[in-house]
Each structure stands twice: as C-alpha cells, then as structure tokens.
Structure 1
Amino acid sequence: MNGGRKGAPGRVRIIGGSLRNSRLEVPDLAGLRPTPERVRETLFNWLAPVLDGARCLDLCAGTGALGIEALSRGAAGVQFVERDARAAQSLRANLARLKAPGGQVAELDAGLYLQGAGRRHDLVFLDPPFALDLWPTLARQLEQGGWLAAQAWIYVESPRGHVPALPPAWQPHREGHAGEVRFALYRRALPLS
C-alpha cells in the first residue's frame, strides 16, 4: 500500500460490514497510498461470496484499509505485514480503537516475513510500493513458501498499464482501473496431477 503519492489523507473510511463508516487514522508518510474507496468497493463486491471466515494476509499493509475492510466483512483473521514503524503503530492503534478482533500486525519487511514458516491463507492482498517492483519476488515467495491455500484468491494492485509477472498458477479472475492504478483479482488454480 505504499507507493505512488506524497503524503496521505488523514483519514480513510471503511465502506462496508460491521465497521462501516469507521475512520482509520492515517499517518502523514511520504509514499503512503491508501487503496481508494471505489476500488475497495469493487474488490469487496467481487470477494463477497468467499470472504466469510477467510484467513487473510495483507502484505505491505500501509494503512491496513484492505485487511480491516476484510475483517469488517466477516474474514476470520488478518495478518498485517508492514515494515514502516509509524504505519505499523498507526495500524495497531486503529485495530485497538475499532476493537477489530482477528487482526495481528507484524512490523517487518514483507520479503523477510515470507521467509518464515508459511501458514496457508485464503486471501492475500499484494500491494507493494510501486517503485520497488516487488510483485514477482513476493509472488514467488507466496507460491513456494506454503502461504496460499489450494484455491486462494490474490488481489494485486499495480500502476496502470503494468501487469506484473506472476506465477502461472495465478489465473486472472477480474480486473479494473482507477486513475493511475490497475487492480486485479487472481485465483490460484493448481494443475491436476
């Protein structure tokens, strides 16, 4: 969730579920790029049939808007991973203030986090800083490290016009564009053996 823009708005609104209309406090950090409301609304409409009880991983979480939106809409739990200390602290504070159960924050670089023991997730939000081009590396780690359920869903946000190199098992499901951002939902489909 870090990347394209200088500074961030002071607040981000949760748009659906039990925390609907709650506001997330957002630190003023260069490069912090919260996923816009209309993108989140579209994404969570796509995910509505599969979100209840899902185990989620929000890599490069930034504000945590994607993961908190998932918790608000019935996800069983979300592991947030954010390397910036101020963003991670703000995320912890928002989770505590909202009394959002099931959210845990790891203050760590996403690549280092994925070197640990993999725990399978049903849904992963992959929105790394655009300038670092981390999609192929993080996707490979997710795929090879045991982080994905057999038919996991993976949300990928990237600059408009840029389709990251992703594992062959990740099949495109839906995509859209908003301003300078491309957002896409993939479904993991392992070949039959």
Structure 2
Amino acid sequence: MKIIAGKFKSRIIKINKNKKLKPTTNLMKKTLFNWLSNYIKNSKCLDCFSGSAALGIEAISRNAKFVTCLEKNFNIYKNILKNINNLSIKNIEIINVNSIIWLKKYGKPYDIIFLDPPFKTTIINYIITLLKKNNWTKKNTFIYLENQIKKKIFIPKNWKKYKKKTVGQTIGNLYIIK
C-alpha cells in the first residue's frame, strides 16, 4: 500500500497477509484526507483498530503533530513497528492493546479519531460510548467512522455529519463534535 501525499508520498507500507485485515482503500483514504486537509496540520490523532496503520501514517505524512495507533494483534503490531522504523517516524506511538481496553481508561482528548473496526464486530456502539464517557473527544474533534452500509450505528446527538462517501459496501462518515 502506498502513502498518498505529504512528506512520505509514494512510500510503501508493507501489510501482513491476514484475512481479518481490511485496510482503508486508497480511494477512501484520499477522500478522507481531502476532507481533513485544513485540519490535519499540528493535530493530535488516534487511530483505533490500526491494522496497517495506513490512516495514522498518512496523517503523519500530512503534518499531524502526533498519532497514537492501537492494534491488538501482535503480528500486525510488529509489522506496523517495522513500517514506522523503515520510514524513520518519531512522532507516532504504536500500542499493542485491544482498543476497548485502552479506551476504558480516562484519557486526554484528540483532535482527530479514526474508527475502522473489523466489519464482523458489533462493538462500534460501545466504542462510541467510551469515547464520550472517558474524555477522548472535545468540541470540534473530528471522528472518521468506516463501516458496512447495512450496519446500524447509534450516533450521539452532538456528532454532526461533516462528510460522507460510499465505496461498494463500505461507508465512510466524517463527524465533528459540536
């Protein structure tokens, strides 16, 4: 997978062969970062369910200040570390942890949060609750949520839809906290 733009443009991110891993497509990634182009510089980002960490790495490439990536699968986590080391990225933190466990603790708000959980899981509504309950968001936090079209998700009233894109059976929504 290639980095689309920024200081690491065209550099390759190697991805583990894992049936559970479904990286955000280049089309969806390009669209998302076009939406965020005025907000990404100097932002603090959280990439839950990182997988390839393509969203976190793309954010760093486009001058995000810092990114935290959460990945529970140890082999995928090790692969992300290799990619980060190959790119010599210093302002990214990769944590080998289940996103739910990490979000259960009280945190400090992020500017941008990427939520791209495995499609087969039903945990997204719980994750949304944890984000609000445990201080991971603030006014004007952007939240990108990627999921299957047919999946019903509870969106809090203070999340305002900013942008939306559908590619095949996948829908990407960008919300802003009001």
TM band (smaller chain): over 0.9
Choose which of 94, 98, 101 in structure 1 pairs with 2:90: 101
In structure 1, the residue matched to 2:117 is: 128
Aligned-pair CA distance for 1:62: 0.3
String of CA shifts for 1:137-188, please: whole Å, max 9, x gaps: 0011011101113210000000024352122211111101111110010000
Aligned partner of residue 38 in structure 2, secondary structure? helix
**In structure 2, what is the Cα distance between the partners aligned to 1:185 and 1:133?**
20
**In structure 2, what is the Cα distance between the partners aligned to 1:149 and 1:91?**
28
RMSD: 1.0
Choose which of 181, 185, 189 in structure 1 pairs with 2:170: 181
In structure 2, the residue matched to 1:74 is: 63
In structure 1, the residue matched to 2:28 is: 39
Aligned-pair CA distance for 1:79: 0.3
| 2:54 is equivalent to residue 65 of structure 1 | yes
**In structure 2, what is the Cα distance between the partners aligned to 1:176 and 1:30?**
24
Q: 1:142 to 1:179 in 2, by over 3 A?
A: same
In structure 2, the residue matched to 1:139 is: 128
> 1:162–1:182: 8 Å Cα contact kept in structure 2?
no
Structure 2 gaps of 5+ residues are none
**In structure 1, what is the Cα distance between the partners aligned to 2:152 and 2:163?**
13
AA aligned opposite 2:51: G
Aligned partner of residue 32 in structure 2, secondary structure? helix
Question: Sequence identity, in percent?
Answer: 27
In structure 2, the residue matched to 1:160 is: 149
Structure 1-normalised TM-score?
A: 0.90
**In structure 2, what is the Cα distance between the partners aligned to 1:161 and 1:132?**
13
**In structure 2, what is the Cα distance between the partners aligned to 1:14 and 1:154?**
21
In structure 2, the residue matched to 1:119 is: 108
**In structure 2, what is the Cα distance between the partners aligned to 1:153 and 1:163?**
20
Structure 2-normalised TM-score?
A: 0.97
**In structure 2, what is the Cα distance between the partners aligned to 1:150 and 1:21?**
34
Choose which of 115, 122, 139 in structure 2 pairs with 1:150: 139
String of CA shifts for 1:8-32, please: whole Å, max 9, x gaps: xxxx111010000011110111210
| 2:17 is equivalent to residue 25 of structure 1 | no
Q: Which runs of 4+ in 1 moved over 6 A?
A: none
Structure 1 gaps of 5+ residues are 1-11
**In structure 2, what is the Cα distance between the partners aligned to 1:164 and 1:67?**
23
**In structure 2, what is the Cα distance between the partners aligned to 1:145 and 1:68?**
25
Aligned partner of residue 168 in structure 1, secondary structure? coil
